[in-house]
A and B are shown apart, each in its own frame.
Chain A
Amino acid sequence: MSTVVTPPPIHVPTESRATEPAPLRAKRKRPSRFVLPVYTALLMLYLVSPILMMILYGFNDIPGERQTPRFWGFTLDWYRNVFSDPSLNQAVRNSVMIAIVAAAIATPLGTTLGLALGRYGFRGKAAVSFLIFMGIAIPEIVLGSSLLSMYVQIRTGLGIHTILLSHIAFNTPFVAVVVRARVQGMDRALEDAAQDLFASPLMAFYKVTLPIILPGIVSGFMLAFVLSLDDFVITNFVSGQVQTFPIWVYGATKVGLPPLVNVFGTLLFAAGLLLALLSAVSQRKEAT
């Protein structure tokens, strides 16, 4: 995200921050000093409120099959029968499968792009950077429209294949940006040192560069996976009759949402949270 606009560097040395904690208004005791923290807490509550709603209403003991604004009581029935709707199962399976394949292909494509942009100067660099910027900044609906125009023009038919091709396309720039940031942050001297010690360029890459940029590649993969799993707009344009999880949910909103959607949403949320926490813990371990 931060790559879209690079804030100008600030040319003032920052040591003063480290040497002594500045008093900077901190000593004053006024009730107004609670305003911002309370506000921040309220904003966080606002951000998580739909998530809490989703989790809570997965336990809603509604009289029928469709979710209501009212909470009728607590039940585990929806969790007991998670897999009772075959079309929903299929949609979730499609989503996960597409996300894995799209991320697995977008990761090497984006990684090589990120490497090329992060450490080489070459003719056409600005054009490639622009292409990547365009992929991130263009409104999704324009990308979806143009992809559908192309698939219609060349008569590919619509389905899993067009979803995959499109997902790889919109994921690749994100992977490239994440990897490029990591490459730019690394010290080239390490690689040069390896070559000075008679490592072949390929060996130096494999033994030195790759381990350093690996966290970038892993975050790129995860970002691609999540973006793909969650994508609605582009998928809606290029999916034809195939349903992914977001498409299924969108379709269900017209007739009423079964609480199973809350259950699947909650399970995916929990899985994502677990992965994020695990990666945070492993990164902390790596740091110490």
Chain B
Amino acid sequence: MATTVVGSRRRTRPHGIEARRRRVAYGLLTPGGLWLGIFFLVPVVIMAYTSLKSGGVLSGGFTFSWEFENYVTALSSRQEYFLRSLVYAATTTIGTVALAYPAAYWIAFRGGRWKPTLLFMILLPYFVSFVIRTVQWKFILADNGVLLGTLKDIGVMPDDFKVLSTWMGVIGGLVYNYLPFAALPLYVALERIDESLIEGAYDLYAKPVQAFTKVIFPLSMPGVFAATLLTFVPATGDYVEAEILGGPTTKMIGNIIQDEYLVQARYPVAAALAMVLMFGMVILTSLYAKFIGTEDETLAAARL
């Protein structure tokens, strides 16, 4: 992150220019700021309002009635889906970070002239539509397809083994789709590590494992933090993998919200579910940031 050069110069300027600068700043800010306000904040307020309505599409529409019952319904009868989403997302997060870390490490420290190519390869999936990528796994992982069919033929797997319609299919799809999200921040954090610090560790007779656990891994924590957030939050709300690669027993909260909104048209309950998901994510991520954040400061202190 480069630093801004605004600070010291600005104070020496005459007052009129200062006021003009402020006008320019607000002028630049207004169109985009208004758009984001109208399409991010207002909808959330309206969703909160919708979540307290009662009634039905068939019985003359919905009316606002402080219907907190919707939240009780959302939290009690849909618990299973919330819980499953959290477990799937947590597993996905651990899986992506564990898979991406060694590769990010190698690219950052040993990539050499291959670095740009390898980073580009990590981004390559984004050149194909997310839905198409997910559907391809349905063909790759088909019960008697290229992969499982072959493994069954050579007898490594029992004949009735299946990945599709099980949690393995869903989490496999989630891990695949979020892997680049985890790999890039990990790479950025590892790339920033000053190699002289690692040399220092070796000079002080650290074994390779110690150099990793005591120096490299702690220094890469900001990347791990970013990677886990960028995976966990979107994965919790995702429903495309569960829909395409999963089955009736693997439905996530996203499937339910989508169904309530677009199929059942029970907007109040749907809105309550989405509100719970949103606040749940805000609370979880701020707790996580607080927890990791303090650790980060101690790390920064240890470094000085």
Contact = CB atoms under 8 A, between A and B. Distances in A.
A2 B7 CA distance: 24
Nearest to A122: B25
A188 B102 CA distance: 39
Interface string A101-131: 0000000111011011011111000001001
B185 interface: yes
A3 B285 CA distance: 16
B277 to A, nearest CB: 6
B132 A185 contact: no
A110 to B, nearest CB: 6
B46 A169 contact: no
Nearest to B304: A11
- DSSP majority for the A interface? helix
A128 B225 CA distance: 23
Contact of B185 (A2, A14, A46, A112): A2
B6 A36 contact: no
Interface in B126-161: 126-133, 135-140, 142, 144-146, 149
Interface residues of B, number: 117
A242 interface: no
B238 A53 contact: no
Given A109-B35, A249-B131, A51 B110 contact: no
Given A69-B145, A128-B29, A150-B46, A39 B103 contact: yes
A25 interface: yes
Contacts of B185: 1-2, 4-5
Interface of A: 1-2, 4-8, 10-12, 14, 16-17, 22, 24-25, 36-37, 39-40, 43-44, 46-51, 53-54, 57, 67-71, 108-110, 112-113, 115-116, 118-122, 128, 131-132, 134-135, 137-143, 145-150, 152-153, 165-166, 168-169, 172-173, 176, 181, 184-185, 187-189, 192, 201, 226, 229-230, 232-233, 236-237, 245-246, 249-250, 253, 257, 261-262, 265, 268-269, 272-273, 276
